[in-house]
Amino acid sequence: MSERAALVFEDREYTLAALEGLADGLAGELERRGVRAGERVALMSSNRPEFVVAVRAVWRLGAAVVLLSPAWKRGEVEHALEITGATHAVGDHPVLAELMPMRHLDEPIPPGPGSCAWPPEQADAVLVFSSGTTGMPKAVRHTHASLAAAVRHWRDALGLTARDRIQIATPPSHILGLLNIVTALETGAWLRLHRRFDLDRLLQHIELDRITVEMAVAPIALAIASHPKLESYDLSSLRYIMWGATPVTPSVAETVTRRTGVGWVPAYGASELPVIACNPLDGARLDTPGRPVPGVSARVVSLETGAPVGPGETGEIEVRSDSLMAGYLPAEATAEALHDGWYRTGDVGSLDADGWLRLTDRSKEMIKVRAFQVAPAEVEAVLHGHPAVADCAVFGVPDPVDGEAVVAAVRTTRPVAAAELIDLVGTRLASYKRPSRVEFVPEIPRLPSGKVLRRVLKERHGCTSDT
């Protein structure tokens, strides 16, 4: 086995053999702690090599990893543990340690012999979280087979090989972060993992490490475009920058290309089906996330009847693939999203005659902040807990940095400061779920059924679509 570094973190380097040895050692320890095949192990960790080791150790035992965002507060973690039934915990986060016995990743991991036992393909591999239109986040179940299919699709779409060098600063608890890590290791690409996002450090390492593919989401793209000294960095090693998680902002992408000469490759996916579409590496366009990747079928269906519509016609985008999730937890939520093998994305758009996909709207009410999904009902439940709040509705508005921003319309029974309500959400939920502003209104528009007319609220704020 090659002694070439597979993963680099700060001044530490790990060969693939070293990672396998550490994974084997941690697997042995977790087995002695009682972890068994088919069980679920919660993992709440910062960006660090031990995250990678923990994932592979849990898989070695035939157990599934429950990925918890380190941005979550106690209530969110309690909900995740309840619906997944996680029986063991690994990580470095105090919130998880408070809720159940946790094997801390700061403790040394004794290396093992590096055996390569893996569970059946149809066994659950990972559970990530996706918010629906109501209630708390749902767990998305991916088997080893569906995750492996997503890795193949991502590798092929991005043209990744063992000659590539990438870096990751986004949270690995999100499907895109995990997908990037697993794809790099499976492909043999060289990988630098960053503890946190720091733009100057990212740009510096593109130059020093000769990074060939940069992974970006909207806030990273905007930060690059507005960096005052961008031209001082040598970015000539980059083949392209991938833009994912939110639709491309053409002016931002064009600014980066004008200043650096580096082009973009937009892509589109979801927690439920990680790689849906991607642009070609040559001739990528900024007005579309691309065509469905080989192995993924896409269609557009009428919002009224659910019947497929013709090329160029607008409707809800549905997709199916071997990379599709096995289902949600709670299990009863699955039926709303899957039918006849097709996943209802909740995105509205069209497919033209040449297979190019366009996204125009959201049929669901979910708010997408950066790469994260925010359920309005979850934020509303927190706001309703304030004694001054008589009624409220949360909705998303376009934001040039984050894709969307969270706005709360609130009817009160007595005066209360907007900052107090925003801080209340911040103490109960992850920071990306906090409203960017609170609008005090005399009433919340609703249908006779009680359903909030979020579109009316958006129109009042000058937003005519759900994008």
Lowest mean pLDDT among 65-74, 111-120, 228-237, 259-268: 111-120
Q: Give the CB-side neighbour count of residue 247, counting CA atoms within 13 A.
A: 20
pLDDT band at 447 (very low <50, low <70, confident <90, very high): low
Tell me, what's the pLDDT at 135? 54
Check whether 1 has a pLDDT greater than 60. no
Cα–Cα distance for residue pair 33/88, rounded to 1 Å: 9
User: CA-CA distances (angstroms) from residue 77 to 85, 421, 430?
Assistant: 12, 22, 10
For residues 126-147, average pLDDT: 83
pLDDT band at 466 (very low <50, low <70, confident <90, very high): very low
Tell me, what's the pLDDT at 272? 95
| Of 279, 285, 313, nearest in space to 299 by CA | 313
Q: Phi-psi region for residue 378, left (φ > 0), alpha (ψ -120 to 50) or beta?
A: alpha
The residues near 194 (Cβ < 8 Å, ≥ 6 apart) are: 9, 47, 167, 168, 169, 201, 202, 205
The radius of gyration of the chain from alpha carbons, rounded to an integer in Å, stands at 22
Q: How many CB atoms lie within 10 A of CB 364?
A: 20
Tokens coding 258: 């004008």
CA 46 to chain centre: 15
- Could you tell me the pTM of the whole model? 0.83
pLDDT tens track for 392-443: 999 999 888 888 999 999 999 999 999 999 999 999 999 999 999 999 999 9
Check whether 116 has a pLDDT greater than 80. no
- The residues spanned by each domain of the chain are 5-260, 264-362, 367-460
pLDDT tens track for 264-311: 999 999 999 999 999 999 999 999 999 999 999 999 999 878 899 999
Tell me, what's the pLDDT at 448? 59
The residues near 214 (Cβ < 8 Å, ≥ 6 apart) are: 166, 167, 202, 206, 238, 240, 241, 242, 262
Higher pLDDT, 362 or 460: 460
pLDDT tens track for 210-263: 999 999 887 788 889 989 999 999 999 999 999 987 778 788 899 999 999 999
16 three-class SS: helix
Tell me, what's the pLDDT at 346? 87
Question: For residue 330, is the peptide bond before it cis, meaning its omega torsion is within 30 degrees of 0?
Answer: yes
For residues 331-337, average pLDDT: 92
Torsion 362-365-369-374 (CA) sign = negative
| Of 137, 170, 142, nearest in space to 59 by CA | 142
Q: Does domain 367-460 have CATH number 1.10.760.10?
A: no
Contact of 418 with 438, CB cutoff 8 Å: yes
254 three-class SS: helix
Phi, psi of 312 (to 5 degrees): 85, -10
Q: How many CB atoms lie within 10 A of CB 368?
A: 22
Check whether 132 has a pLDDT greater than 60. no
CA 160 to chain centre: 20
Residue in the structure block whose two tokens are 């109501």: 134
Tokens coding 418: 């907007």
Strands 165-168 and 190-193: parallel
pLDDT tens track for 14-23: 999 999 999 9
Residue in the structure block whose two tokens are 């549905």: 318
Phi, psi of 242 (to 5 degrees): -85, 135
Contact of 171 with 196, CB cutoff 8 Å: no
pLDDT tens track for 157-213: 999 999 999 999 988 898 999 999 999 999 999 999 999 989 999 999 999 999 999
Class of domain 5-260: alpha beta
For residues 113-134, average pLDDT: 76
Q: Which CATH superfamily is domain 264-362 in?
A: Luciferase; Domain 3 (2.30.38.10)
Tell me, what's the pLDDT at 131? 58
H or E segment at 242?
strand 240-243
